[in-house]
Structure 1
Amino acid sequence: MGQDFPQNNVFAVIDLGSNSFHMLIAKHMAGGIHTIGRVKRKVRLAAGLNKDNLLSLEAMQRGWECLALFAERLQDIPASNISIVATATLRLASNADEFKSEAERILGHRINVISGELEAKSIYKGVAHTSACQGRQLVIDIGGASTEVIIGKGFTAEIYKSLDMGCVTFLERYFSDGTLSQSNFDHAISAANQVISPIKQTYIDAGWELAIGASGTIQAIQEILAASGESELLTLERLDSIKKQAMGFASIDKLQLAGLGEERRLVFVSGLAILIALFQSLDIKYMGLAGGALREGVLYSMISDFHNTDIRKRTLDGFTERYHVDKRQAQRVAEVSIELAGQLSATWQLPMEQIIPILTAVAHLHEIGLVIDYKLYHQHSAYILNNTGMPGFTKAEKQLIVAITNAHRADLNQRQFSEVGNQTLLVTRLIRLVRLAVILSMRREDDVLADFFVCADKFDAVKLEFAGDWLSAHPLMVSELEQETIYQQRMSWKLFIER
């Protein structure tokens, strides 16, 4: 039946990596791409390479068994919507054709063994389409047998290199005895620095504004930091601290760090050593985690709609289409909230370049919960946002958007700010502005709002006044604003409506 009715808007990408094989299934709908399935299996193909780059039959067998599982899911997807790529190990293996021939028979589709340069460019594209790309960025992906290092801007990779080092190959070379000794770490870090050395000056001279990691190693480190209550940003100091914690265990099989998943444990220390060397050689200060990498890059390349686009706009358009948002009303709320922020920007020292995208996003997303129920729609909206990916927005930006959306109407409580950390003052101020903007836009019509003026004193008391006697002709607006002063008073926020 699947052959007669192919899922024309469903796409599949299979990535035959050196450590893991991945299958990503996604649907193109509502102006966006939505993941509907992921399958990952640890194959550790690179561990089957000997010193002559001959891939062992045992490693090939592990790969074929995994692909037999993947093949079942591909049956209902049009062949033109399927892309299968292989990376470093099959680039290196002298008998790669033997593996590839049987793998293609199992899958019923051609496998493309991509070059290191194409892999790097695809990784960058995946990051660009799923992360908050602002300015020039350094992207690093530590794979099983290669590490890609890219500098790019927007959707364009400008400098890219695939380095011959990975968490599986370095595990075999420098941690083969399984011990977590200072000597093993030193040898691994030193070797990685030597691999990086030829490209070091080129990358440092080019420079970047933001460093992003796109591999399982970076994600694992972020999860370890989160488990200990640390910031999500990676620094060399934090990497060294994790290395010291790891050396507190006798061997890899005894390694138990809070936040470290069992499936990542075996190749974690070798990946950590490579990352420490990258931080040292390239003088990386901070690094965040990307939303996607190679698989996403291949996926977005398959769909012409996404070859060049504003990621944040695409994300907002996808939400508004999916949840039938009143786009004109969203624009009204955005315009009023930005106007309010602009009038208070000097007094409150608001970073307008940073907050305009946040206010715009909240305006377009705050009503998505109306499709569920009106009474608590703000909570429904926040829940949907909190549990849905938002490409183009960082984790911190998403937390702000969720917090503001959750508190944009009705009663307020301190629990609504529990996830925003040191951004509490900013988020409370933006909430006060958005709440007023929603009330002032309640007529859902253009050109019905008089000119208004807002100011704040040194105690954060806000005063709102309107031109002429407009308020006297709008008793419902007066009532809503008076109720809002009560809501804000309960939070010890002072709001005065000048009548």
Structure 2
Amino acid sequence: MATTSMETSSPLYAVVDLGSNSFHMLITRQLADSVQVVDRVKRKVRLAAGLSRDNILSEQAMAKGLECLSFFAERLQDIPAKNIRIVATATLRLAQNSAIFLAKAELILGHKVTVLSGITEAEYIYLGVAHTSFSASKRLVLDIGGASTELVVGHGFTVKKAHSLNIGCVTYNQLYFPNGVLSESNFASAISAAEFAIDEIKTEFCDIGWQCVLGGSGTMQALAEILTYRQKPSVLSLDFLYQMREQLQTFDNISTINLPGLSTERSPVIASGLAILIALFQQLSIKKLTLSNGALREGLLYEMLPGDRSVNIRQRTIKALSQRFHIDQQHAHCIQQQVNAIFTQLKIHWDLPGNNALDILLASCDLHEIGLLLEYKYHRQHGAYILTHADLAGFNQSERQLLVTFVSLYKGDIDQKIIDKQSAITSEHALKLLIILRLAVILCRRRKDDELPSYQISANGKMLSLSLSKTWLMQHALISDELRQENIHLGRLGYHLDIEG
């Protein structure tokens, strides 16, 4: 695709996060009301490992951090100063000699470094989730850093309660896994210490309550990647965390960890991060945790960008993709109308899931032709690939999988294996929603609003009855034949479509 002048002239924005475990630099530009990542740089500095028991940051740790910032400085020099945010978190909050490091850092970077308080960091983490994750419910957001762990409960863009604990995967690694030794007693000590710290705030958080739990820090991402490697839904449960603890204890030392799906750069702090996460699950009675699309850096970025918080994050993502891939939005809207009509008529008959599942189904109407820009013949496969790999703010991984399922199967053969692979809803419900989408697409085949029929549809188990005007069917021979072909596809899965005219 050719690059437009708007794309090349859009100003760049940069966020630099001097974390206790890693230093990150995120560079983006705003395109079509969405954010395009231009560059990411990440370095495992492990700054917190250089903190003494008296909270003095070692010369060696400072030197390693400053070297990393010299790399960042080269990239930042071409970005307007007003579009740059640089922040430091727990280690530089705690270090008594942080002023020495910060003075040298600002000299290298040519920009001010803001040391965030624990509460401010927690609030920005929450905003990063709010800007990039869709949820109509009150949510608990967790973030395990190198030297601190943030907990936030909020709804929409409003923070209800935020707290930062001085427990982190780097500091706990040194305290409870000395010399990298992995043992049952070391895990027990780390979990117990984390539970003790969490216990002080447990009641006030539990009293507020929440409906869903999200997290996006390195520990949670690493664990989710292990699940993905095993071809399982990337939803963390306490049982899975216990399984991981048992598997890690089969290794004598952190340096010998070799788990399929776990990156080598995350291995050094996976045990300590896991211990803290187990403590959070146990103390707060968490049943499951899903990954968020954003955290601290995204919170800082979106608050810097011009934008409107009232715009639904999913709609913003869909609008950006529709414009970028030149999707026929009028046709997509037509299909949405038919999906809503069929869904309404079948909801009681099929006990269909509403709310989020319906939202994803409607999103698939907007995006089902996203692959057409590449070519027609394999456009469903192209569309599935694009949606699998694109930045989809507002959709978590399981929601993305369901969206990809609908887009890849909206016409042609129905592969049950693809339906079973998604984990957002049951396979039965996913298939029923897919059938609704497929029927809507067929009925809109003319791509003309004034040619849409009046019809009734009902279901009795796997028996569908679609009542259309006989005259309309005769006047639309292609659509009539498509409906007969659809009955063949559905028949392979045990369903039957009866067309009454």
Give CA-to-partner distance per residue, 1:325-356, whole Å, 9 cap, x none: 22221111011012112211112110122332
Give CA-to-partner distance per residue, 1:277-335, whole Å, 9 cap, x none: 11121121211111111011101011121444311111111111111222221111011
| 275, 278, 284: which one aligns with 2:277 | 275
| 92, 102, 105: which one aligns with 1:103 | 105
Matched, 1:476 2:478: yes
Contact 1:138 1:149 (C-alpha < 8 Å) held by counterparts = yes
SS class of match (1:165): coil
2:437 is aligned to 434
Distance 1:263 1:147 in 2: 20
Specify the code of the residue in structure 2 equivalent to 1:130: T
Displacement after TM superposition at 1:145 (Å): 0.7
1:36 is aligned to 38
Contact 1:7 1:76 (C-alpha < 8 Å) held by counterparts = no
Specify the code of the residue in structure 2 equivalent to 1:147: T
SS class of match (1:352): coil
Matched, 1:192 2:194: yes
| 261, 283, 286: which one aligns with 1:284 | 286
Distance 1:385 1:466 in 2: 34
Displacement after TM superposition at 1:465 (Å): 1.3
Bigger shift: 332-341 or 255-264?
A: 255-264
1:68-467 aligned at under 5 Å gives the runs 68-417=70-419, 419-420=421-422, 423-458=426-461, 460-467=462-469
Aligned pair in 2 of structure 1 residues 156, 119: CA closer, same or farther (>3 Å)? same
Distance 2:79 2:9 in 1: 5
Matched, 1:59 2:61: yes
Structure 2, unaligned runs of 5 or more:
1-6
Distance 1:8 1:493 in 2: 51
Aligned pair in 2 of structure 1 residues 177, 474: CA closer, same or farther (>3 Å)? closer
Aligned pair in 2 of structure 1 residues 133, 355: CA closer, same or farther (>3 Å)? closer
Structure 1, unaligned runs of 5 or more:
none
Distance 1:262 1:375 in 2: 40
Contact 1:139 1:149 (C-alpha < 8 Å) held by counterparts = yes
Bigger shift: 205-214 or 221-230?
A: 221-230
2:3 is aligned to none
Displacement after TM superposition at 1:491 (Å): 4.7
Displacement after TM superposition at 1:250 (Å): 1.2
Contact 1:7 1:78 (C-alpha < 8 Å) held by counterparts = no
Give CA-to-partner distance per residue, 1:193-252, whole Å, 9 cap, x none: 221122110011111111112211111122233344554222222212211221121111
TM-score (norm. length: structure 1): 0.94
Specify the code of the residue in structure 2 equivalent to 1:182: E
Aligned pair in 2 of structure 1 residues 280, 318: CA closer, same or farther (>3 Å)? same
Aligned residues: 494
Contact 2:10 2:29 (C-alpha < 8 Å) held by counterparts = no
Give CA-to-partner distance per residue, 1:357-416, whole Å, 9 cap, x none: 022101100111121122332222222111112221222221111111111123444454
Contact 2:10 2:30 (C-alpha < 8 Å) held by counterparts = no
Contact 2:234 2:397 (C-alpha < 8 Å) held by counterparts = no
Aligned pair in 2 of structure 1 residues 490, 238: CA closer, same or farther (>3 Å)? closer
Displacement after TM superposition at 1:497 (Å): 1.8
Displacement after TM superposition at 1:6 (Å): 9.6
Identity of aligned residues (%): 46
Runs of 4+ in 1 over 6 A off after TM superposition: none
Distance 1:246 1:439 in 2: 52
Give CA-to-partner distance per residue, 1:58-106, whole Å, 9 cap, x none: 0000001111111121122211111111001111111111111111121
Aligned pair in 2 of structure 1 residues 349, 102: CA closer, same or farther (>3 Å)? same
Contact 2:126 2:295 (C-alpha < 8 Å) held by counterparts = yes
Aligned pair in 2 of structure 1 residues 56, 370: CA closer, same or farther (>3 Å)? same
Contact 2:291 2:396 (C-alpha < 8 Å) held by counterparts = no
Distance 1:171 1:355 in 2: 41
Displacement after TM superposition at 1:254 (Å): 1.6
SS class of match (2:140): strand
Distance 1:7 1:449 in 2: 43
TM-score (norm. length: structure 2): 0.94
Distance 1:301 1:101 in 2: 26
Displacement after TM superposition at 1:108 (Å): 1.5
Displacement after TM superposition at 1:492 (Å): 4.7
Distance 2:271 2:401 in 1: 31
Contact 2:233 2:398 (C-alpha < 8 Å) held by counterparts = no
SS class of match (2:179): coil
Aligned pair in 2 of structure 1 residues 412, 184: CA closer, same or farther (>3 Å)? closer
Distance 2:87 2:390 in 1: 27
Matched, 1:18 2:23: no
Aligned pair in 2 of structure 1 residues 287, 490: CA closer, same or farther (>3 Å)? closer
Contact 2:383 2:408 (C-alpha < 8 Å) held by counterparts = yes
Specify the code of the residue in structure 2 equivalent to 1:343: Q
Specify the code of the residue in structure 1 equivalent to 2:274: L
Contact 2:88 2:116 (C-alpha < 8 Å) held by counterparts = yes
Specify the code of the residue in structure 1 equivalent to 2:194: A
Displacement after TM superposition at 1:125 (Å): 0.6
